[in-house]
Amino acid sequence: MMMTMLLLMLLLLLLLLLLLLMLMLLLLLLMMIIMMMMMMMMGMVVMMVVMMMMMTMMMMIMMRMMMRRRRRRRMRMMRMMRRRRMRMMRMIMMRRED
């Protein structure tokens, strides 16, 4: 008798868990739909931002990979880029002062 009762209890618990999972899935689906609607409402701005973020992440990963492969060249490149940026900034500042 006790064994049967235990089995029934376990079955009930499993059913409850399944129901909870189903509810969770439904909620997730609803959230996804709402998000999609929001995206449509917002327009392409959000998508653009996400894409930019992804691109930046990819660029960072690529840079790291390059650094691992050949450090010296990349370091030189980085320094050159920094110098160029500094020059550009100075030029802009000078123009503004004028």
Dump pLDDT digits (tens) for 2-36: 888 889 999 999 999 999 999 999 999 998 888 77
CA distance linking residue 77 with residue 80, whole number of Å: 5
pTM of the predicted structure, to 2 decimals: 0.33
* Number of C-beta neighbours around residue 66 at 10 A: 13
- Amino acid at position 46, single letter: V
Cα dist from 31 to 25, 34, 38, 45, 81, whole Å: 10, 5, 10, 20, 43
Is residue 47 scored above 80 in pLDDT?
no
